[in-house]
Structure 1
Amino acid sequence: MPIEVLEGESIPEGVPALLAAAHVLVLGYHEVPEQTATEQASEQYEGRATERLNEFAKMFEDAGATVETRLVFTHERQQTINRVILETDSRAVLVPGSVSAVEDVLVAVGGTVSLDRIAEVVGGLFGGGSARITLYHATGGEESNRSVSELLDALEDQLLEAGVGSHQIQTLVEQRDRPLAAIESAAEDYDVVVMGETDPSVATFVFGMPHDQVASQFLGPVLVVQRPPPEPDSDKTQR
């Protein structure tokens, strides 16, 4: 979970409880101007930033999570977050939002993230609990009913293996021209949204990444399941 430690950002209500069953990396960052050396910023602010970061970590520890922290001073916020995700092979990144209780979880199925990663995240957080989990897919009509059914059935099988009860799972398929808008609309009836990361496109440079668009409309927590790190180039590793 990335958080700006020196700009008044806080942990929204319900987030520690949401991640109580997780191993949480709290990435405290402070973005400094290009003309300021990160070493200089670290010397000036590290003490205060570390104190604040430890306060955040304790909130997750008190909820029952396993917690580690990392503090960085950076010129490029998103670049640093992406680097840490790859270094730690993080399964998901949280776009925080407040939630009072987690009773209904929307899992938007699609994109380029493998089903086993989604099942690992959803099963790890909600398996064995009472939360209702809806596997949601919005199709523009180019997919056959059979392919959609096979996709959702495959994820359901993996969720069952990950410890999610069959009574927790339901599926919902909607025929919509704009899948992203469909997710935003469907999310209104849920407490948490889980979705996979997507590849950047021309549209993302204009409107932002899909998960950011959903989070800006939904306001609750959005868990963005990450793709695994790229395999090392075998030719390079042999040299």
Structure 2
Amino acid sequence: MTRIDELRILVPVDVSETEPPPLDVLDHLGAVEVVLLGYFPVPDQAEPALLRDQYGPEATDRLDAVADEHGNPAEVLVFTHDREATIDRIADEYDCDAVLTAGRSTVVDRVLVPLRGDVNLDRILAVVADLLLAGNETATLFHSVAEDADPTQGELLLMGAVDRLVEYGVERDRVDWQLSKGGDPQTDIVELGAAYDLVVLGETEPPLRERIIGDVLSAIVDALDVPSLIVRDVE
């Protein structure tokens, strides 16, 4: 089984905005290590160094204020033309296991974990196990079966995933599973996610930027009101 010695999460924050993002979820994830990435978007025609000279102190103050609210994690400030490339680079540089997107959850009691198959499954379950072992959350493992497909494989996937979490040390009564036969995973995840405090998703292959820009995962993350934790596929 894949094991993660110490769960490290990258949290991107747009420091060009005056209002900080809702990150209350950080205070309810237990003993995880956080790297706070403050990024300042730079227009294509502008030089990052010039904007850093102009807005650097203000951006630093905003990033410091977010850090002060959430336990003073490690901070990185970047002025960048490409947000997604920066997230990918810093996640690699700091060896982050997952990337957290902001959302309006003030507690984390219930975690939804959509599973698509064997893709990135080991790391997703390792991250979920670390979250559950660090706190008191419960988790629902979820799989959406394509229309007219045999649901048996989905059931086996979910039951096997539950067994693996138990092998990690998670109590069996803190994990359940749900199978949907609606045939539209994106809609299923967004609708079901509204009833949870955090959604754990997995990228299908590196780099992270390709999983965030213009694909199904991006649409799901954008549609969710609750925070999402995107588990990186870095094996």
- Whichever of the two has the greater Rg, that structure is 1
Corresponding position: 1:180 with 2:190: no
Counterpart of 1:193 in 2: which secondary structure?
A: strand
Q: Which residue of 2 aligns with 1:70?
A: 76
Counterparts of 2:92 and 2:117, CA distance in 1: 19
Query: Does the 8 A contact of 1:26 with 1:69 survive in 2?
Result: yes
Q: Which runs of 5+ in 1 are unaligned?
A: 230-239
CA pair 128-80 structure 1, distance change in 2 beyond 3 A: closer
**Cα separation, 2, equivalents of 1:133 and 1:212:** 22
Local SS of the residue matching 1:94: strand
Q: Is residue 2:8 matched to residue 1:2?
A: no
Amino acid at match of 1:91: D
Give the superposition deviation at 1:128.
5.7
1:30 CA drift (Å): 0.4
The equivalent residue for 2:52 is: 42
Of the three residues 228, 231, 234, the one matched with 1:228 is: 234
Contact 2:99 2:230 in 1 (8 A): yes
- Runs of 4 or more, structure 1, over 6 Å off, are none
- Where in structure 2 are the equivalents of 1:1-239 lying within 5 Å? 1-12=11-22, 14-61=24-71, 67-110=73-116, 113-127=119-133, 129-141=135-147, 143-198=149-204, 208-228=214-234
* Counterparts of 1:33 and 1:101, CA distance in 2: 36
Aligned partners of 1:14 and 1:99 also within 8 Å: yes
Distance 2:120 2:23 in 1: 30
The 1:110/1:52 distance shift into structure 2, 3 A limit, reads: same
Q: 1:56 is aligned with what amino acid?
A: V
- The more displaced of 97-106 and 12-21 is 12-21
Structure 1 position 4, deviation (Å) = 0.8
What is the deviation of 1:209?
3.2
Number of corresponding residues: 221
Q: Which amino acid aligns with 1:100?
A: T
Separation of aligned partners in 1, 2:134 and 2:79:
39
Shift in alpha-carbon separation, 1:6–1:136, aligned structure 2, 3 A: same
RMSD: 2.5
State TM-score, norm by structure 2: 0.83
Query: How much has 1:141 moved relative to structure 2?
Result: 4.3
